[in-house]
């Protein structure tokens, strides 16, 4: 058995049986070895950022790591932005970066570069396998590190380690150990004090059990609660306790936190402004407010459950009622589009949200839709939506995936549509086609740079020259597509996409928020 | 004057007056400042790899750096693969990476990451501007370092440095100093010895003066010569001394170097295999061959001129005769397509070559075409062609740019077509559409991994499922396109594209080399 075969066997034995790949010459033995391990599914992408984003989306839904296969330093570079998002999402992932054979590295061949330095910026665990005898143990350690900390493990794999015989798969990956129980006493005391308190939930507390526990706590104690701005996986809709998110804009978050004397962090980080602005504080904790850390990102649901049993033993969590907006008619705008989505969202859908400015009304329009998962842009690196939808659909073939995507963000990783077609994934992509980097037109004002923006500045935020035709782009990659300019057309297109297997794209032409 | 204004003023005063940009919130003051400096041209890209590849292509033709504006660590990551190629091309470039405001970094906001570590892997010079008073001097130093070493300078620019007033542009960037003259004596002696010698040229010796000098030397001394496999800018065609390239495949290079007793490196690195293969040496220098370094990449042309004056004072360099292939007819293949290109290549064209396997016959088919420049994939990171064509066309608006692009490679940076349309650049992109990663199908055999490749392995190298429609993809980004399946259609399409201003794409459907 060569190193590549031992690696793949160790991966599938460790529960990692999907590999999103964009291989090159140094990974050819890995590719050849796929045929020797039937349990491993290889999913080809045309760009590495699609592979890493897909592994993120997969982990959020499957609750276990996928593997990613990348080619040398440039392949890792292309995958880096979505690895950044995955790092912030705290999802498990095993990244395999092929490298030159060990004896070849000293020659500084054209593709030689410092893989370790780049991998270190996004990976909690990095190892370079130095000999074929080590590959099984290294792969096992990569999986264990990834699963125990819900983080990225990167294994740098020289080509000769792959092609050399004499490897053995590892015996098996130990199950992640349960976290240490947290001391809920101090927070319970704070909540019983009657002083104005806010619980900010995040991490694994944004799913059913964590939400139910937090809802019981706030109902019993009178505290308020919010969810972090960019949850990894947010369960919501009819039958699920409803929570608002901390506002993206610092002004909004400050208003939400106004008057709070105790801020309890349950899996969320202490709130800070997404960007800095001249003269505006970055730290959003109100003056005089005490911050209490209940728990880290993982174990937040368990900590909240313990807290609920302590302060709200008899309280039953309220849940959102079933309720959908009326189907609107007439001109399609980001406002009316939100209502169409709310009216038609299927039961058990997975929503991948990279709609940015165009999506501001989506949460309220879908609050009473059938229960669904909502995945968000955890790290702020745009280009995550289309790839994450690939991974979510691979993880949950029995669910509909709705990817709500901005036109500007879509173009970073547009080739993910091709992988959706190749794998016949049930993904419906909606492009909010407003022809502008609208968020930047807003930010240009907010940072104080553009009270009177000049024509060159505005031109750099305008992507309508030339207009993109997303129907043609999608069809060119094998995804059926249509354009919608009215609510009726949008509703028809959404219904048709949800009814028919395989991927679809809807080019939803909406006006810019800024006119 | 704020920091952003001082930066842009310093750049244009230092001869850097084009900025390929994909900005975000932390770069909004830079964007706003563009309107205060009319001499700076901002060119928007939809993906950072297009910006960095464009700056590479620009520098190869303009012989001076462009600036690149990137957004934080993820933006740098997206640009990394083409920065890798530019590093290998030894071209000057000034990369500006916007970062969070200095006071904001400690909060570990979602987009926070280790920019410095990633930048260090591709940049010869990295600096983080710590105060607004420093921005002018830092920008000046970035330009000077980039120009003197023909390398990448990366300036990490916190948002508050941009928005704070009190900055001053630097006084002016000093001209790069001339390199130290090399001692040509030892090499002259080797060449006069009569023993079998090979001169391997590279760096700046692959352009007119260097080629002429090297041609004189080999004609006077009986030495042979070759050009490095992936020259940064290779001047060739009728009236230019003709040189073959070192073969990409180690077997071919070994045959070319067989029997050589003295290998003289004139701007080229000592030949090594691009990848390692089991049982095959990486070092391609024949046993018993002595290696003599005449000079580094920069100054190679000057060193060869001095050498020619010493060993070939009265020799006149031979040049390639004007000669074009007959226009072929019938089925389009990569063979016949090469002859069509050779028959129609315009005078003074810039050829950006990322045709990989489909392009193997292009050099001989174009050897006698009117003089032209040939840009190659210096670092091996695919996805450079479409972006480099953007930059070359911006640098030389009076020349035709022909981008010869593989289908697989095209998809990494396909959105560069949109920038070509936006800037109305005279770029003709030919997609060699064979539906496969053909180079990997070859490499799978060569690395010994695939004598009997299985269906999963072959499937990961097959990009014909689904077939991509490059006509639709191009039209979707505003570039007129047509498909060619015969030589006649291809010739018609090329002629039409060369005759009409603005970008065009030709989807050249060719069979896979492997059937």
pLDDT, tens digit, 9 for 90 and up, residues B146-167 = 998 789 999 999 999 999 999 9
Number of helices and strands in chain B (H, E): 20, 17
Q: Do A47 and B272 touch (CB under 8 A)?
A: no
CA distance B51 to B56: 9
Is the model's pTM score more than 0.90? yes
In B, which residues are within 8 Å of A230 by CB distance? 110
Q: Confidence band (pLDDT; 50, 70, 90) for B24?
A: very high
Position of tokens 């899996």?
A267
Q: What is the pLDDT of residue A470?
A: 98
- Which chain B residue has its CA at the smallest distance from A27's CA? B444
Kindly report the number of other CB atoms within 10 A of residue A199's CB atom.
28
pLDDT, tens digit, 9 for 90 and up, residues B320-339 = 999 999 999 999 999 999 99
Which residues fall within 8 angstroms of residue A496, CB to CB, at 6 or more apart?
A504
Query: Which residue(s) pair with B429 in the sheet?
Result: B403, B505
Is residue A49 scored above 90 in pLDDT?
Answer: yes
CA distance B456 to B458: 6
Does the CA dihedral B312-B313-B316-B319 come out positive or negative?
positive
CA distance B151 to B296: 14
The three-state DSSP-derived secondary structure of A105-161 is HHHCCCCCCCHHHHHHCCCCEEEECCCHHHHHHHHHHHHHHHHHHCCEEEEEEEHHH
Query: Which residue(s) pair with A429 in the sheet?
Result: A403, A505
- Are B358 and B406 in contact by the 8 Å Cβ rule? The answer is yes
Q: What is the DSSP annotation of A433-492?
A: E-SB-HHHHHHHHHTTS-SS--HHHHHTTB--SSPP-HHHHHHHTT--EEEE-BHHHHHH
How many Cβ pairs closer than 8 A exist between chain A and B? Answer: 320
Position of tokens 């009177």?
A452
Q: What is the DSSP annotation of A261-282?
A: SEEEEEBSPPPB-SS-BTTB-S
Position of tokens 């390639």?
B320
- Could you tell me the two tokens for A332? 């399609």
Q: What is the pLDDT of residue A257?
A: 98
Q: Do A163 and B449 touch (CB under 8 A)?
A: yes
In A, which residues are within 8 Å of B37 by CB distance? none
In B, which residues are within 8 Å of A476 by CB distance? 468-473, 476
Q: Do B111 and A439 touch (CB under 8 A)?
A: no
In A, which residues are within 8 Å of B283 by CB distance? 107
- Which chain A residue has its CA at the smallest distance from B473's CA? A473
Position of tokens 């005449």?
B294
- Could you tell me the two tokens for A76? 């890792």
CA distance B110 to B119: 19
Q: What is the pLDDT of residue B106?
A: 97
CA atoms within 13 A on the CB side of A177: 4
Q: Which of B23, B411, B455 has its CB closest to that of A46? A: B411
- Could you tell me the two tokens for A379? 């790290």
- Are A203 and A174 in contact by the 8 Å Cβ rule? The answer is no
Q: Where are the alpha helices (DSSP H) in A359-415?
A: 362-365, 385-395, 407-410
- Are A456 and B34 in contact by the 8 Å Cβ rule? The answer is yes
Residue B369 to chain A, least CA–CA distance (Å): 29
Q: What is the pLDDT of residue A171?
A: 79
- Are A224 and A307 in contact by the 8 Å Cβ rule? The answer is no
Q: Do A454 and B35 touch (CB under 8 A)?
A: yes
Query: Which residue(s) pair with A235 in the sheet?
Result: A373
Domains and CATH numbers, chain A: 3-163 (3.40.50.970), 185-311 (3.40.50.1220), 334-509 (3.40.50.970)
End-to-end CA distance of chain A: 63
Is residue B38 scored above 90 in pLDDT?
Answer: yes
Kindly report the number of other CB atoms within 10 A of residue B329's CB atom.
11
pLDDT, tens digit, 9 for 90 and up, residues A102-131 = 999 999 999 999 999 999 999 999 999 999
- Are A73 and A156 in contact by the 8 Å Cβ rule? The answer is no
In A, which residues are within 8 Å of B276 by CB distance? 100-101, 103-104, 159-160
Q: Do A415 and B418 touch (CB under 8 A)?
A: no
Which residues fall within 8 angstroms of residue A321, CB to CB, at 6 or more apart?
A238, A368
Q: What is the pLDDT of residue B412?
A: 98
- Could you tell me the two tokens for B138? 């830092």
In A, which residues are within 8 Å of B230 by CB distance? 110
CA distance A492 to A227: 33
In B, which residues are within 8 Å of A111 by CB distance? 84, 274-275, 379-381
Q: Do B439 and A283 touch (CB under 8 A)?
A: no
Q: Which of A32, A120, A455 has its CB closest to that of B444? A: A32
Q: Which of B313, B94, B445 is nearest to A28 (CA)?
A: B445
Q: Which of A276, A455, A460 has its CB closest to that of B100? A: A276
B499: DSSP letter? H
For chain B, what percentages of helix, strand and coil (3-state, to nearest 5) are there?
A: 40, 20, 40
Burial A378-413 (b: 16+ CB within 10 A, else e): bbbbbbbbbbbbbbbbbbbeebbbbbbbbbbbbbbb
pLDDT, tens digit, 9 for 90 and up, residues A66-111 = 999 999 999 999 999 999 999 999 999 999 999 999 999 999 999 9
- Are B29 and B36 in contact by the 8 Å Cβ rule? The answer is no
Q: Report residue A438 CA to chain centroid gap.
A: 21
Kindly report the number of other CB atoms within 10 A of residue B236's CB atom.
26
Q: Do A421 and B466 touch (CB under 8 A)?
A: yes
Which residues fall within 8 angstroms of residue B379, CB to CB, at 6 or more apart?
A74, A110, A111, B84, B85, B86, B87, B88, B89, B230
pLDDT, tens digit, 9 for 90 and up, residues B336-370 = 999 999 999 999 999 999 999 889 999 999 999 99
- Could you tell me the two tokens for A283? 């730290």
CA distance B132 to B161: 5
Does the CA dihedral B99-B100-B102-B106 come out positive or negative?
negative
Phi, psi of A479 (to 5 degrees): -105, 120
- Which chain A residue has its CA at the smallest distance from B478's CA? A466
CA distance A55 to A69: 10
Q: What percent of chain A has pLDDT over 70?
A: 100
Q: What is the pLDDT of residue B168?
A: 93
What average pLDDT does the structure give for chain B?
95
Query: Which residue(s) pair with B33 in the sheet?
Result: none
CA distance B229 to A115: 24
In A, which residues are within 8 Å of B467 by CB distance? 478
Q: Report residue A474 CA to chain centroid gap.
A: 22
pLDDT, tens digit, 9 for 90 and up, residues A412-447 = 999 999 999 999 999 999 999 999 888 888 888 888
Position of tokens 């900590």?
A303
The predicted model gives A384-405 an average pLDDT of 98
Q: Where are the beta strands (DSSP E) in B159-258?
A: 197-201, 224-227, 234-236
CA distance A111 to A123: 22
CA distance B491 to B342: 11
Crossing angle of the two packed helices A3-13 and A135-149, in degrees rounded to 10: 30
C-alpha distances (whole Å) from B450 to each of A28, A358, A500, B274 are: 8, 49, 38, 19
Q: What is the pLDDT of residue B447?
A: 80
CA distance A359 to A404: 8
pLDDT, tens digit, 9 for 90 and up, residues B157-193 = 999 999 999 999 997 777 777 777 889 999 999 999 9
Q: What is the pLDDT of residue B361?
A: 94
C-alpha distances (whole Å) from B232 to each of B60, B77, B346 are: 7, 23, 21
C-alpha distances (whole Å) from A173 to each of A69, A91, A114, A140 are: 20, 18, 29, 6
In A, which residues are within 8 Å of B23 by CB distance? 440, 460
Q: Do B28 and A467 touch (CB under 8 A)?
A: no
**Regarding beta strands A41-44 and A67-71, do their DSSP bridges make them parallel or antiparallel, or are they unpaired?**
unpaired
B contact test, residue of A8, A12, A74 with most B CBs within 10 A: A74
- Which chain A residue has its CA at the smallest distance from B39's CA? A456
H helix or E strand, kind and range, residue B369: none
- Could you tell me the two tokens for B181? 């003259």
Q: What is the pLDDT of residue B13?
A: 95
- Are A395 and A61 in contact by the 8 Å Cβ rule? The answer is yes
Is residue A515 scored above 70 in pLDDT?
Answer: no
The predicted model gives A209-220 an average pLDDT of 98
- Could you tell me the two tokens for A230? 């960019």
- Are B159 and B101 in contact by the 8 Å Cβ rule? The answer is yes
In B, which residues are within 8 Å of A454 by CB distance? 32, 34-36
Q: Which of B463, B440, B459 is nearest to B514 (CA)?
A: B440
What average pLDDT does the structure give for chain A?
95
Q: Which of A80, A122, A411 has its CB closest to that of B415? A: A411
CA distance B449 to B457: 10
CA distance B210 to A118: 37
Residue A101 to chain B, least CA–CA distance (Å): 6
Give, in degrees to the nearest 5, the angle at Cα A359 between A324 and A243.
Answer: 60
- Are B202 and B270 in contact by the 8 Å Cβ rule? The answer is no
């Amino acid at each position: 058995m060569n190193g590549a075969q031992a690696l793949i066997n160790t991966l599938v034995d460790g529960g990692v049986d999907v590999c999103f790949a964009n291989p090159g010459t140094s990974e050819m033995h890995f590719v050849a070895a796929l045929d020797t391990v039937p349990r491993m599914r290889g999913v080809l992408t045309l760009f590495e950022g699609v592979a890493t984003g897909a592994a993120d989306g997969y982990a959020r839904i499957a609750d276990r790591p996928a593997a990613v296969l990348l080619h040398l330093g440039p392949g890792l570079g292309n995958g880096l932005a979505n690895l950044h998002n995955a790092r912030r999402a705290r999802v498990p992932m095993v990244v395999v970066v092929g490298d030159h054979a060990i004896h070849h590295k000293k020659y500084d061949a054209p593709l030689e570069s410092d893989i370790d330095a780049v991998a270190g910026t996004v990976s909690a665990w990095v190892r370079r396998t130095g000999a074929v005898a080590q590959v099984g143990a290294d792969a096992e350690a990569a999986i264990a590190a990834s699963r125990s900390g819900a983080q990225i493990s990167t294994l740098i794999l020289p080509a000769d380690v792959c092609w050399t015989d004499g490897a053995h798969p590892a015996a098996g990956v130990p199950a992640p150990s349960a976290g240490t129980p947290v001391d809920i006493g101090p927070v319970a005391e704070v909540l019983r004090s009657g002083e104005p308190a806010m619980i900010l939930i995040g991490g694994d507390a944004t799913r059913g059990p964590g939400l139910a526990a937090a809802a019981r706590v706030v109902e019993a104690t009178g505290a308020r609660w919010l969810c972090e701005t960019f949850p990894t996986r947010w369960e919501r809709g009819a039958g699920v306790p409803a929570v608002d998110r901390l506002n993206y804009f610092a002004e909004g978050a400050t208003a939400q936190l106004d008057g709070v004397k105790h801020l309890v962090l349950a899996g969320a980080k202490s709130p800070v402004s997404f960007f800095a602005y001249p003269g505006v504080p970055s730290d959003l904790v109100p003056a005089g407010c005490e911050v209490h850390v209940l728990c880290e990102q993982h174990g937040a649901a368990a900590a909240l459950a313990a807290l609920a049993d302590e302060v709200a033993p008899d309280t039953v969590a309220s849940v959102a009622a079933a309720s959908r907006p009326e189907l609107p008619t007439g001109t399609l705008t980001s406002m009316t589009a939100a209502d169409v989505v709310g009216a038609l969202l299927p039961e058990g859908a997975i929503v991948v949200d990279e709609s940015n400015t165009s999506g501001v009304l989506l949460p309220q329009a879908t609050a009473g839709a059938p229960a669904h998962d909502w995945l968000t842009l955890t790290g702020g690196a745009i280009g995550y939506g289309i790839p994450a939808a690939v991974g979510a659909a691979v993880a949950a073939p029995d669910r509909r995936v709705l990817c709500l995507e901005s036109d500007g963000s879509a173009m970073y990783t547009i080739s993910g549509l091709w992988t959706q077609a190749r794998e016949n994934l049930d993904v419906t992509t909606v492009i909010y086609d407003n022809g502008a980097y609208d968020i930047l037109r807003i930010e240009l004002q907010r940072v104080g740079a553009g009270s009177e923006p000049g024509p060159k500045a505005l031109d750099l935020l305008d992507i309508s020259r030339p207009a993109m035709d997303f129907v043609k782009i999608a069809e060119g990659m094998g995804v059926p597509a249509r354009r919608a300019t009215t609510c009726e057309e949008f509703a028809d297109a959404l219904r048709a996409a949800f009814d028919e297997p395989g991927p679809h794209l809807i080019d939803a032409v909406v006006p810019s928020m800024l006119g």
